[in-house]
Amino acid sequence: MSTALRSLCLSAVLAAAFAGCSGSPNPPADQSAKPTSTTGADAEKVVNVYNWSDYIDPTVITDFQKEYGIKVNYDVFDSNEVLETKLLTGHTNYDVVVPSGAFLARQIQAGVYQKLNRAALPNWKDLDPEVAKKAAQYDPDNTYAVDFMWITSGPGFNVEKIKQRMPDAPVDSWRMLFDPAVVSKFADCGVSLLDAPTEVISAVLIYLGKDPNSTSTEDMQAVEKALTAIRPYIRYVHSSRYIDDLANGETCLALGWSGDVKQAHDRAKEAGKGIDIGYHIPKEGGVSNYDMLAIPADAPHPNNAHLFINFLMRPEIAARNTNLIKYANGDTPTPDIKEDIRNDPGVYPPPQMLAKLYPEPMRTPDFTRIVTRMWTRFKTNK
């Protein structure tokens, strides 16, 4: 299916969902918590997980399999839009999925998820109440989902290559990516953007000094103008390729997600070719996102899903994930988290920076449709 057609279908499904689901091809399922045993597993010893790429320590999966005798089928994606299309079509066969909060909120309204059974999640006690509170803006009372990781986005950059081209480069500013006079200097060494339209649009709005939650036509025209002005300097738009490309020196600047850029930093260091990768949450303010563990209403193994989610919430396991993927997890931080990660302001922002983060807002289907069209024009350069 073409991207345009897919986005049209998606908008139609969402529109129907928001309008009370009359005629929706995916009416809301019974959203009451299913009878989930507190300790037991499902008869079939399988759990089907759909998570972001580069987002788990693989030994966590093998340890879960060993401890519970439950096989984990693990698939990956790198776009909320891809996940949402599957969820709204239904019958995904997934037991655990990981939407970002802004998407989770409207998917809850569309009846995609079942309520979590807190009795089956004893590690709930280890959650950071502040993170849970932030997640509750998308999911009141944390009814349907629990935070896996939370993230920021900003410019990741090759320290040396940027310095060579612009010694006084504003590396802590959105100007790195959105000011044509700045980003043009780095076009030759490779610049990429995330393929995450609503998130990038919030970032451009912040750069323009506008409300990052704005949906006004005037502001969207300003965003499109700003994106068109930098298009000649963008080599590609993709949400996972940039990790290796930054690490190998194939590109020198990427609008990336905090932990992914830190993974690029570590991969570059391990390769020992003298490449140093930096990341700052922009001083104008950054976009934050909460990636949430949730169970589809029609999940075939809801008990196993609860066991898996509870396992991920265990502080020692959450810390192992954070230590490898470099994202802040939903638990109250423990000493199991490596010091360099715990003290990295790009991963665990200090209070003054936290105050400058704008959580990505939930968008309506109409607005999403406008953004999708704009984004297609931008990507195809037409």
Of residues 244 through 263, those in contact with ligand N2P by CB under 6 A are 257, 260
Q: Segment contacting ligand N2P (CB under 6 A): 40-48, 50-58, 62-70, 354-362?
A: 50-58
Q: Does 242 bind ligand N2P (CB under 6 A)?
A: no
Q: Which of residues 72-131 bind ligand N2P (CB under 6 A)?
A: 100
Task: Establish if 151 lies at the interface with ligand N2P (CB under 6 A).
Answer: yes
Does the footprint of ligand N2P cover residue 344 (CB under 6 A)? no
Site membership for ligand N2P, residue 321 (CB under 6 A): no
| Residue 167: Cβ-neighbour burial (10 angstroms; 0-12, 13-18, 19+) | exposed
**C-alpha dist (Å) from residue 19 to 25, 110, 114, 381:** 13, 10, 20, 34
310 binds ligand N2P (CB under 6 A): no
Measured from the CB atom, the residue of 42 and 291 that comes closer to ligand N2P is 291
* Window contacting ligand N2P (CB under 6 A); options: 51-59, 106-114, 226-234, 247-255: 51-59
Please state at what angle helix 365-380 crosses helix 197-207, rounded to 10 degrees: 80
Instruction: Check residue 55 for interaction with ligand N2P (CB under 6 A).
Output: yes
Burial of 2 (0-12, 13-18, 19+ CB in 10 A): exposed
Q: With b meaning 16 or more CB within 10 Å and e meaning fewer, what string describes 249-270?
A: bebbbbbbbbbbbbbbbebbee
Residue nearest to ligand N2P (CB): 52
329 binds ligand N2P (CB under 6 A): no
Report the residue number, 256 or 315, with the smaller CB distance to ligand N2P.
Answer: 256
Token reading at 123: 């590690």
| Residues contacting residue 116 through CB under 8 Å, at least 6 positions apart | 33, 142, 143, 144, 145, 146, 294, 295, 306, 309
Binding region for ligand N2P (CB under 6 A) out of 3-11, 48-56, 138-146, 202-210:
48-56
53 binds ligand N2P (CB under 6 A): yes
Question: Which structure tokens are listed for 135?
Answer: 């997640």
For residue 72, what are its two tokens? Answer: 């984990």
User: By the criterion CB under 6 A, which residues form the site for ligand N2P?
Assistant: 52-55, 100, 151, 240, 257, 260, 289, 291
